[in-house]
Amino acid sequence: MEKIRIEKNTVQETLIVPLYGRKMCSEKFPDLYTDVFAERLCDRLDYDFSELEKKSNSFFYEFGALEAAMRQLDMIWEIREYLDKHPRATIVNLGCGLDETGKACDNGSCRIVNVDFPDVISVRRQLIPEQEREKNIGCDLNDHSWMDEVDGSDGAIFFAAGVFHYFRKDEVRSLALELSKRYSKGRLVFDSVGKLGLKLMMSKTLKNMGIRDVDGLFYVNNPERDLNWSEGITLTSKGYMLGYHDMKSPHIRSSHRLLARIGDGMMKMSINRMDFE
């Protein structure tokens, strides 16, 4: 099969780092996490991965990969739990990039929708063919018109992995409230960090985006207080790193588990679930 060329300093390249991270997770922590879709796609790309490969054995880069793996596992757990009760529901990947979590959860009867900016969806269509029961929507998430294309008649679960850190607080609140109005019995799942976590963990990325002040950005110090947006929404939150899995895999070091406890505790890393009445 002919390889697909990815040029430097393009939209395509910005999508490669998280994709490679998921592939690396599968290689380093196979007992914990596998992403066959990321592995297959990386194998199809004509791209110089050497810089990413150099970093891959550093302790903190390795922990970053583990962090990404745990987040995806948490999302998958929530999606599958929802599909157990609503097998024909629609899975909606918010800010999807090149992620194929929907396919990883496919039960043969659900529908899958991937939403991201139009230029990202254009790249996705080039690299990942849509399968049966799958649809891609190119739209800014804050332009709620994309919801017109999502059928929630058999249930709908929306998830955002590593996305809302770049949103303003009011944007996340507006999005959640609009979903709660439109999708009765639906669910929204997303990760968050506290203000300290946002400053420490995201500072370099945000600086590269020209963002200096995190005060207006979305962070959650106390989920019960900060996400108390509507009486029609039931909120539950768990630790991001250790809330769903104990991380007692043969490939995970005790130092990784220590950092995981710090992440869930001091950094206030959480997975938040909103169930709509």
* CATH number of residue 85's parent domain: 3.40.50.150
218 or 27: which leads in pLDDT: 218
Please provide the average confidence, as pLDDT, over all residues in the chain.
90
- The number of folded domains in the chain is 1
Q: Is 8 inside a domain boundary?
A: no
User: Which residues does 80 contact at the CB level (< 8 Å), separation at least 6?
Assistant: 105
Closest to 187 in 3D by CA, of 163, 158, 211: 158
Q: Say what the pLDDT of residue 209 is.
A: 54
Residue with tokens 């609503």: 86
40-60 residue pLDDT tens: 899 888 898 888 888 777 777
Q: What percent of the chain has pLDDT over 90?
A: 60
Confidence grade of residue 94 (pLDDT, cut at 50, 70, 90): very high
16-35 residue pLDDT tens: 888 888 888 888 888 888 88
- Three-state SS string over 27-94 comes to HHCCCCCCCHHHHHHHHHEECCCHHHHHHCCCHHHHHHHHHHHHHHHHHHHHHHHHHHHCCCCEEEEE
Q: Is 269 inside a domain boundary?
A: yes
Q: Is 72 inside a domain boundary?
A: yes
Q: Say what the pLDDT of residue 21 is.
A: 85
Confidence grade of residue 206 (pLDDT, cut at 50, 70, 90): low
137-177 residue pLDDT tens: 999 999 999 999 999 999 999 999 999 998 999 999 999 99
208 pLDDT more than 70: no
Q: Is 189 inside a domain boundary?
A: yes
Across the range 211-239, mean pLDDT stands at 89
Q: Is 47 inside a domain boundary?
A: no
Question: In b/e form, how buried is each residue of 176-210, taking b as 16+ CB within 10 angstroms?
Answer: bbebbeebeebbbbbbbbbeebbeebbeeebeeee
Domain membership of residue 138 as a residue range: 58-276
Q: Is 64 inside a domain boundary?
A: yes
207 pLDDT more than 60: no
Q: Is 141 inside a domain boundary?
A: yes
Q: How far apart are CA 75 and CA 44, in angstroms?
A: 26
Across the range 102-124, mean pLDDT stands at 95
Flag the least confident range among 123-137, 162-176, 250-264: 250-264
pTM over 0.85: yes
Q: Is 67 inside a domain boundary?
A: yes
